[in-house]
Amino acid sequence: MIVYLEYLILINVVIHYLIIKFCQKIFSKKVSHKNLFLSILLLNVNLFIYLQYPLISNYLKYIFGLLIVGTAFYPEKPKTIIKIALIYFILNIVLGGFNFFLNIYNLNLNISLLISLIFMIIIFELDILPKIDTKLIKQYFYNINFNIQGKEYQFQAFLDTGNFSKSETDNVPIVILNEKHRMLYQSDASIKLKSLGQSYKMDIYRISDFYITIGEKQLKREVYLAFGDLEFDGIFGLDLLKE
């Protein structure tokens, strides 16, 4: 079977564009036309290396993938780029696997790719992908303070948009503090969490006198505290920012 270079470039660009649009929707990020064009150039450089030096390409594909995603979503932070790149890689694998499944039934390359692209467009247009409400996000670090047995504690907590932890009984948000700041030991309850395929219990502590500073306002919130091994002093989810 003869596959023309122009055909490969076209398919490569279309798939790249659709996956970038998926990532934009999932992470609610903007991609400029300039960045998209530069990422397409890198994409085709990667394709050329693959066609000329396939063995070298195998070692460079993930590095090129990060460069391609990083160029498209510049100037996002490296941590965000890595998260987006993971989704980008997964969607590439899913699309490739879907093509393989279709080819089992002797569909030619043109038809299988066409069906795959239609499948992606349908999902995209149905708007079924999760989105983060970026209207709530004005900054990523917020001052929090609370009172325990007459002693006041103040920390700067990081807004983790992927943190949806809530108590199982009363659906109250959970703020997680760095273990080094632990000041509570008698838990009020515990919740089950899953991470990397493993489930574990986390003790939580009810706090009634908890405040978060949003702009010039200091708002009282009902939360549970938990403690864990964190990079920051504390993390919390978007629920604390909602009016």
Which of 107, 126, 145 marks a domain boundary? 126
Statement to judge: residues 39 and 91 lie in one domain:
yes
Q: Provide the whole-model pTM.
A: 0.46
Query: Where among 92, 126, 160 does a domain terminate?
Result: 126
Q: What is the CATH number for 187? A: 2.40.70
47 shares its domain with 144 = no
Q: How many angstroms separate the CA atoms of 29 and 74, rounded?
A: 10
Same-domain check for residues 150 and 209? yes
Residue range 56-101, pLDDT digits in tens: 777 787 888 899 999 999 988 888 898 888 888 887 776 654 444 4
| Number of independent structural domains in the chain | 2
What domain range is 165 assigned to? Answer: 134-241
Same domain assignment for residues 121 and 143:
no
Mean per-residue pLDDT, 111-115: 59
Confidence (pLDDT) at 18: 81
- Rg, Å, the chain Cα set: 23
Q: Are residues 114 and 147 in the same domain?
A: no
The reply to whether 11 and 120 lie within a common domain is yes
Read off the pLDDT band of 183 (50, 70, 90).
confident
Are 9 and 120 in the same domain?
Answer: yes
Q: Give the tens place of pLDDT for each residue, 135-159.
A: 445 567 899 999 888 889 999 998 8
Q: What is the mean pLDDT of the chain?
A: 77
Same domain, residue pair 9 and 118 = yes
Are 73 and 162 part of one and the same domain? no
Q: Domain end: 82, 103, 126, which one? A: 126
Q: 61 and 139, same structural domain?
A: no
Residues 13 and 118 in one domain: yes
Residue-level pLDDT at 120: 61
Q: Which residues of 159-183 are buried (b: 16+ CB within 10 A; e: fewer)?
A: bbeebebbbeeeebbbbbbbeeeee
Q: Tell me, yes or no, whether 85 and 141 share the same domain.
A: no
pLDDT at 211 over 90: yes
